[in-house]
Amino acid sequence: MAYLGFVVFMREDPRYGWLLLIHIALLVLAVLLVFYTRRIGSAMEKVNYSHFVARLLKEQFSNGEITEEQYRCGMRELHDDARRHLSLKSHKKE
């Protein structure tokens, strides 16, 4: 509602119109920044988790805690999850 006061000032002095546009642009920029930061953050969490699981599988295999078949199965599951995630992402864009 504070912007209605700017509309009154715009009629008296056009310089206030630019001030209103700058304020609106800054608000839109702030909203977009928060939205995209959250999306990038969640994508990075997924990547970090996948890297952690891959390192854990490799470490367990090199220590002899799991067999080669279990290692390959775990890596295949990670690869399938990544492929599924990318295919879902591409379907959302369409």
Distance between CA atoms of 61 and 78, rounded to whole angstroms?
15
End-to-end CA distance of the chain: 38
User: Is the entire prediction scored with pTM above 0.85?
Assistant: no
Mean pLDDT in the chain?
A: 77
Query: What percent of the chain is predicted at pLDDT more than 70?
Result: 73
Distance between CA atoms of 66 and 73, rounded to whole angstroms?
11
Distance between CA atoms of 58 and 67, rounded to whole angstroms?
11
Q: What is the mean pLDDT of residues 57-73?
A: 89
pLDDT-derived band at 15, boundaries 50, 70, 90: low
Biggest alpha carbon–alpha carbon distance for the chain = 80
Of 86 and 33, more confident: 33
Report helix, strand or coil for 35: helix
What is the token pair recorded at 67?
A: 């067999």
Q: What is the mean pLDDT of residues 22-46?
A: 80
What is the token pair recorded at 55?
A: 């390192």
What one-letter code names the amino acid at 64? G
What is the token pair recorded at 31?
A: 């909203």
Q: What is the mean pLDDT of residues 38-67?
A: 82
Q: Could you state, in order of their start, the residue ranges of all structural domains in the chain?
A: 2-93
Q: What is the mean pLDDT of residues 2-23?
A: 64
